[in-house]
Amino acid sequence: MHTKKTYTTLEMMLWTRYETISFILIITAWVAAYYFLDLYWLQIPWAPISLIGTAVAFIIGFQNNAAYDRIWEARKIWGGIVNTSRTFGMSIQDMITNEYAQNTLDKKELDKEIKTLTYRHIGWMTALRHAMRQPKQWETTANHKTNKEWGHRPPEVDSSLEKDIKPYVSDIDFEYIMSKSNKQTALLYLQSHHLRALKEKGVVWEFSFLQLEGVLEELFTLQGKSERIKNFPYPRHYATLNHLFMWIFVLLLPLALVPQFAEIGVILAETKPFIGDLFVWFSIPFYVIVAWIFHTMERIGRTGENPFEGTANDVPISTISRGIEIDLRQNLGEDLSEIPVQFPVSHHTQF
């Protein structure tokens, strides 16, 4: 997610420069044809253009609101993962004790159980963020040439789940996890089985076991919500038609705008012949501004449809996951040199 409050004007202009050039070419061709070929008959009234523009503005507003809702829901989900992860890390440290144990364990053995559960939870977050970064066929924003040129690449693109999850689980767990299609679900099952085994040994009190199972249930809920956003896209008929309607409006707009400026030029020609003759060319900047606003707002909506795709405006799940890992491992008492650093910020962007 972009760490600045807003894009600078320069960044926004660079982000949309190819479309802006297209708008300049479109309106320049219309004005040139109108001016040099005397195509004064080629025009339509403002009324239908206004109706189309109003409809397009409404549907763009609807799309932007829906896209923002998806981004905000995704951010709340991962905010819940942050809080629940910290709760889980705190709980296992205080609930895995010898107080009710049938055969007491020494501190080293207790610490090993706590570390295994903590590391497996980090593995769960790793599996979840990798699953959220898996490309879907409707996720095309990152493929746009102006998005590619910024070099925005989430860390999951340059790594693999196998490599990233291996340090956090045992070899037996690794084989079990990799044999399942939903690896993050498999990890939560392993967590539950582990807690049950500790409960049967008396290392985890029965009431504590129920509380920890409740935390795992909450993690399942948050995982399911995250997967729902990832696997159910913004309805494609809305997204596709919205893009089409925007371009229909942009292409029809010169038919009303250019004649309007030409009429003003005729009036000006009575007192200022030179300005009046060339006034139709002033429609170019006005058209570019209007077309740029409609297109940019529509593109912003498209960019926000998939909050886990890995573009600059998406939820920074990699940064969130790594931040939780750092917190959990620091609270295990690990040396700072052994804990991985936060993912770097690229072009003011977190991933």
pLDDT for position 171: 95
Around Cβ 333, how many Cβ atoms within 10 Å?
Answer: 8
> Span 5-23, mean pLDDT?
75
Q: If you average pLDDT over each of 53-62, 185-194, 310-319, which comes out highest?
A: 185-194
| Average confidence score pLDDT of the chain | 89
- pLDDT tens track for 216-264: 999 999 999 999 999 998 887 777 888 899 999 999 999 999 999 988 8
pLDDT for position 149: 64
Grouping H, G, I as helix, E, B as strand and the rest as coil, residue 41 is coil
Residues forming beta bridges with residue 2, ordered by sequence position: 349
Q: Cβ(331)–Cβ(115) under 8 Å? A: no
> Span 59-67, mean pLDDT?
90
Which is higher by pLDDT, 86 or 348?
A: 86
Cα distance from N-terminal residue to C-terminal residue, the chain: 6
Confidence of residue 6 (pLDDT cuts 50, 70, 90): very low
pLDDT at residue 5 above 60?
A: no
pLDDT at residue 4 above 70?
A: no
How many whole angstroms separate alpha carbon 185 and alpha carbon 46? Answer: 57
What stretches of the chain adopt beta strand conformation (E)?
A: none
Return phi, psi of residue 349, to 5°.
-125, 130
- pLDDT tens track for 130-188: 999 998 888 777 777 766 666 568 888 888 999 999 999 999 999 999 999 999 999 99
Does the pTM surpass 0.85? The reply is: yes
Confidence of residue 332 (pLDDT cuts 50, 70, 90): very high
pLDDT at residue 211 above 60?
A: yes
Cβ partners under 8 Å of residue 153, min gap 6: 310, 346, 351
